Structure 1
Amino acid sequence: MRVPVKKRSKSRSGNSSLKRTLIEAARAAAHTKNTYLSAKYRRIAARRGGNRAALALAHTILIITYNIIKNKIPYQDLGPDYFNKLNESAIVKRSTKFLNSLGYKVVKE
């Protein structure tokens, strides 16, 4: 039997003002519609909860901001369907299997 690895439950210490600001920005970004950041928030929140998803999104915003400043390029949103495009074949396979289990016959074209 394989024992699951427990993920860290505490974030590392750092600039508390920056952390508060980034989490506030992350919560605002999570409420936007049809953006990469809102899609990422929903994916993480479904698995780990809203607070951890906000912290993860704050980290993503920090990384994006760093790359914008470092490379001097404008931000380009990847879009809300970025994760669906990333695993398109897995989504098709999972959906086909689900519909077959309900009794439907699915034919791929």
Structure 2
Amino acid sequence: MAAQELIADIGVEMSRFPTAAHLVSWSKFCPQTHESAGRKKGKGRGKGNRWLAGTLARIVFSVSKADTFLGERYRRIARRRGKSKALVAAGNSVLTVVYQLLSDPQAHFRDLGADYDGTRINKDRRARSLASQLQAPTGQKIIIPHGKAVLVEPETA
């Protein structure tokens, strides 16, 4: 049903949109930024097609509980930034997928999986980052040789 509503709202002819970003911008399902005197102010999203926005919201809420890439994307952003921003970000991703599928008839959807972002994190770099965050308030030097954290005593002069 949601696919029918999406096609009714945006059509199947994607040649009028050069890229997926153009489709997202046309649908007003991307955050707006207003800049004045060098200061950037977030203004939410624009007033686009409310039927398309409702359809995208239903799609995002249905995948938000699923163990998929889009579901994990929604949950990760919702923890950090809030549910409304996560809805716009995941809706943006849904529109990008729809654009890719409609613009290329040979394309097939393949979910990246819920652990996609976790597999792309360099564990050594993340450990060094956490160690440096711990060093700032405590003043102790932490090094991580061979995956084990070691506290180095400061030299007394």
Aligned with 1:70 (options 103, 106, 113): 103
Task: Give the match for residue 91 of structure 1.
Answer: 126
Aligned to 2:88: 55
Structure 1 residue aligned with 2:60: 26
Aligned CA distance change for structure 1 residues 37 and 15 (closer, same or farther; 3 Å): same
The structure carrying a bigger strand percent of its residues is 2
Distance of aligned partners of 1:13 and 1:46 in 2 relative to their CA distance in 1, 3 Å threshold: same
Question: Structure 2: where are the runs of 5+ without partners?
Answer: 1-38, 136-143, 149-157
Displacement of 1:31: 0.9
The gaps in structure 1 that reach 5 residues or longer are none
Rate the CA distance shift 1:30–1:6 in 2: closer, same or farther, 3 A.
farther
Structure with the larger RCO, 1 or 2 (CA within 8 Å, 6+ apart): 1
Q: Does 1:9 align with 2:43?
A: yes
Which consecutive aligned stretches of 4+ in structure 1 deviate over 4 angstroms post-superposition? none
C-alpha displacement of 1:60: 0.8
Determine which structure has more spread, i.e. the larger CA radius of gyration. Answer: 2
1:45 and 2:78 are equivalent in the alignment: yes
**Number of equivalent positions:** 100
More helix by share: 1
**Distance apart, 1:107 and its partner CA:** 3.2
Rate the CA distance shift 1:91–1:26 in 2: closer, same or farther, 3 A. Answer: same
Q: Structure 1 85/62 Cα, relative in aligned 2: closer, same or farther at 3 Å?
A: same
1:31 and 1:7 map into 2 onto residues whose CA distance is 31
1:91–1:80 distance in 2 versus 1, CA, 3 Å? farther
C-alpha RMSD of matched pairs (Å): 2.6
Counterpart secondary structure, 1:9: strand
Taking only the aligned residue pairs, the percentage that are identical comes to 26
Distance change in 2, residues 1:15/1:8 (3 Å) = same
